[in-house]
A = this chain, B = another copy of it.
Amino acid sequence: MPKNLVLRENKIEVIFAAMTTEKSYPVHTLRDFSYAIFKKIGCSDADASLATEVLLSADLRGIDSHGLARLSGYVRLWEANRINATPNIQVVHESPSTAVIDGDSGLGLVVAPKAMELAIAKAEKAGTGWVAVRNSNHFGIAGYHSMMALKHDMIGWAMTNASPLVAPTFSVERLLGTNPISIAIPADKEPPFVLDMATTTAANGKLEILQRKNKDAPAGWIQTKDGNSSTNPHELKDGGALIPLGSDYEHGSHKGYGLGAMVDILSAVLSGANYGPWVPPFVAFLQPPADPVGKGIGHFVGAMRVDAFRPAKEFKQHMDNWIKRFRSAKAAEGYDHVLIHGEPERIMHAQRQEQGIPLNPKVVEDLQALASKFNFEIRL
């Protein structure tokens, strides 16, 4: 059976599990709506606009779980006084190549890009810049932030910790989030290399899609509350957990656990945010732990100036060579070609920019409820 992934538009859903039968909405309609909502909760023009771009970039790149689908979640956190729409974002510690930022409970969608700007400014002078962030909230897709470095001929990094849903290897407790790592690396004529991955076997967004469709998950994604393998996508409601990348010990789940732990420590222990099971949950109906070990959630972003290592042109030409060599490698039978990280998302972005963004009917309902809450109309 041919498995022609990604390159052909009609097969792209194998990667994204995108819901192509759903109605699509023009990007500008969703942008205007998101902007209006962020304004309604009190964001400045600039912050409403920035938060909207970060959210929309997820929808455009096909990471539906991190886009407009989350808008009402941010609003509920604001209603619960857990998001400050007018934060006083401050640098609380710094060195020539580092800083710690306190996000003052602001939207991660706003705090993280500001941290990344500071990392880039530090890298301009010191070669690299690394910023740990505390007292923040969910920052959207990691790839938005890492990619900010690209236009400066820098390599961008972004990580964040997140609501505890993941059990370390040999454990039945949920101690880590899906703690993503993103790295964006510029090329010359080729598009950039953009890795953006949860440190779990499957991102929570993929599980949510299976939950909506009531379909079984593959073995190795989730475990029951007793630590046994499960294919029930609703297992997390019964105390189950996501499994770190690797699926089980024999296949290296201790490595996924180690990467998730690294993200947690860099994002939160280094910045003074909450870590591990103390991370405040994204959903407003769950209370944050009563005994916090830090402030809010934490991020870790970085920028490395390419020409702090070798001339940028030379580096980028070698990146072109790297990308071409890997893309043209002999593919396994049934596959078109070997993927370069960031390629499926880039194809999806171009397609959705033109054809609009498909939204799940439940997301549309959610957005309509948001519109009513703030007494304005949205035609979806």
Give residues in A with beta carbon < 8 Å to B.
5, 93-98, 100, 125-128, 130, 132, 155, 168-173, 175, 183, 185, 193, 195, 197-202, 218, 220-221, 226-227, 245-247, 250-252, 254-256, 258-259, 261-262, 264-266, 269-272, 275-277, 293-294, 304-306, 308-310, 315, 318-319, 321-322, 325-326, 329-333, 335, 337-339, 341
- Closest chain-B Cβ to A331's Cβ sits at a distance in Å of 6
Q: Which residues of chain B have C-beta atoms less than 8 A from A318's C-beta?
A: 269, 275, 293-294
- Closest chain-B Cβ to A140's Cβ sits at a distance in Å of 19
Q: Which residues of chain B have C-beta atoms less than 8 A from A252's C-beta?
A: 197, 200-202, 245-246
Partner of A270, one of B5, B294, B310: B310
List 20 other contacts, CB 8 Å, given A98-B304, A170-B331, A201-B246.
A95-B127, A96-B96, A97-B97, A100-B310, A168-B326, A168-B338, A168-B339, A170-B338, A171-B329, A172-B332, A175-B326, A175-B329, A195-B259, A201-B251, A245-B246, A251-B251, A254-B339, A261-B341, A270-B306, A293-B318
User: Do the beta carbons of A308 and B245 come within 8 Å of each other?
Assistant: no
Q: Given A246-B245, A309-B271, are A227 and B332 also a contact pair (CB < 8 Å)?
A: yes
The chain B residue sitting closest to A247, CB to CB, is B251
User: Do the beta carbons of A256 and B245 come within 8 Å of each other?
Assistant: yes
Q: Given A265-B322, A272-B310, are A173 and B245 also a contact pair (CB < 8 Å)?
A: no
Q: Given A185-B265, A326-B276, are A333 and B227 also a contact pair (CB < 8 Å)?
A: yes
